[in-house]
Amino acid sequence: MLKSVRIILALALTITAAHAGVLPEDRADIMYHRYEGGGVTIDGPSLLIRKSMLDDLSVSFNHYVDNVTSASIDVQVYASGASVYSEQRKENAVGLTYLHNNTTINFGYTNSEESDYSAETASFAISQDFFGALSNLSLSFAQGDDVVRMNNREGGVITSTDDIGTVDRNNYRIAFSQVATKNLVFNATLETITDQGFLNNPYRKIRYLDSDGITQKDAPEQYPETRTSDAFALRANYFWPWWRAALKFEARTFTDTWGIKGKTFEIKYTHPFDDAWIFEGKVRQYDQTAADFYRDLFPYENFQNFMARDKEMSSYSTFGFGAAATYEWKNIDFSFIERMTLSLYADFVRYQYDDFHDARESRNGGAFAAGNEPLYEYDAVVTRLIFSVYY
């Protein structure tokens, strides 16, 4: 971890408690989520239940499902046989929160399973209010162990599965929140993530020019076996007293040992109406530079030790905007229910790639030479419908 962060960490740990924190609200959420874009449709449910007990404990359980139907550009370019595949991912997560005066301790465990990937993550976090509850410092650590497999398909049906490798992940996060005024809160978050193991997608390939300089051929991607990244985010929430509305701002930077640099800017406006409605709008911009070993088309086979053609490793930008509406029922006849809400969120995101070309246009009699195809871009719509009960 950075030397400067270690110094601040040592200072933070010497500060004593002064004020009580609060447990998360008891609630049950059922969400339908849907992502549609780039030839991929992913939808499914997510169920969250949270309950407090003994005045200082809160437990939570989340069951989440992704139903995937994919005819992405990678599937269309590289998959033999069927041009569309279907997959399902299931994720279960449990959490335990313990509150003691102004200190909150969280334990979490998440398991994700799909036919060709298993992931387990265990996390621990400690959060401390101090300085009259105007400040909060939290430290968290998560360790993940993943198993990577590869399905062999014939006609879209899985005929066998091969073990490919494993991934070990460690996340280290420190976050600090500060109340600045009656209407303004700042937050700074720094997170370092380290990965080791098989870090690429076993299905994806790179392409290179054959000895004739015209014919394109495919070969498996070759990624480094380690990756370390640092992400830093600054957030500010401002309460607009004249309208009883809130303006939220986020700026995030990212850098890693693969040479990728990313920047995110997001502005969100939240406005209540008639004491039962909340409306929200947001705008988000993301820009990224390519990994050092990324190329859309390599000049020849075995050009370098590490080679990638994953569009998520390329230079590109995204622009998105979203809106949300929440309605709240307050006077509920059932004795144990305090209130209920129904929320709809919708986001539109445009992805525009600067150095990832549409290889479909140069294959199977396409009109373009390899490397001269149009740059790839696509739009995605992300929708969430959530019904929540607070008890």
| Integer Cα distance of 7 and 13 in angstroms | 10
Least distance between other proteins and beta carbon 102 (Å): 13
Positions 37 through 76 that interact with other proteins (CB under 8 A)? 46, 48, 62, 64, 66
The 107-126 site mask, x for binding other proteins (CB under 8 A), equals -x-x-x-x-xx-xxx-x-x-
Is 352 a binding residue for other proteins by CB under 8 A? The answer is: no
Does residue number 319 form part of the binding site for other proteins (CB under 8 A)? no
C-beta separation of 354 from 317 below 8 A: yes
Shortest gap between Cβ of 215 and other proteins (angstroms)? 28
Scanning 78-86, 154-162, 165-173, 295-303 for contacts with other proteins by CB under 8 A, the matching segment is 165-173
Q: How many residues sit close enough to other proteins to count as binding (CB under 8 A)? A: 106
Shorter beta-carbon distance to other proteins: residue 285 or 368: 285
Residues 242-301 that bind other proteins (CB under 8 A): 244-246, 248, 251-254, 256, 258, 260, 262, 264, 270-272, 278, 286, 288, 291
Q: At 313, give phi and psi (nearest 5°).
A: -100, 0
| Binder of other proteins out of 208, 293, 298, 345 (CB under 8 A) | 345
**Considering the rule CB under 8 A, would residue 138 count as an interface residue with other proteins?**
no
Q: Which one of residues 77, 140, 206, 298 is an interface residue with other proteins (CB under 8 A)? A: 140
Distance CA 230, CA 92 (A): 27
Q: Which stretch binds other proteins (CB under 8 A): 51-59, 174-182, 329-337, 362-370?
A: 174-182
Q: Please select the residue that binds other proteins; options are 17, 59, 71, 179, rule is CB under 8 A.
A: 179
Q: Which is nearer to other proteins, 33 or 357 (CB)?
A: 33
Does 131 interact with other proteins (rule: CB under 8 A)?
Answer: yes
Phi-psi region of 19 (alpha: psi -120 to 50; beta: other; left: phi over 0): beta
Kindly indicate which of the ranges 180-188, 299-307, 330-338, 366-374 contains the residues binding other proteins, using the contact rule CB under 8 A: 180-188
Supply the minimum distance, in Å, between the C-beta of residue 213 and other proteins: 30
- Measured from the CB atom, the residue of 114 and 377 that comes closer to other proteins is 114
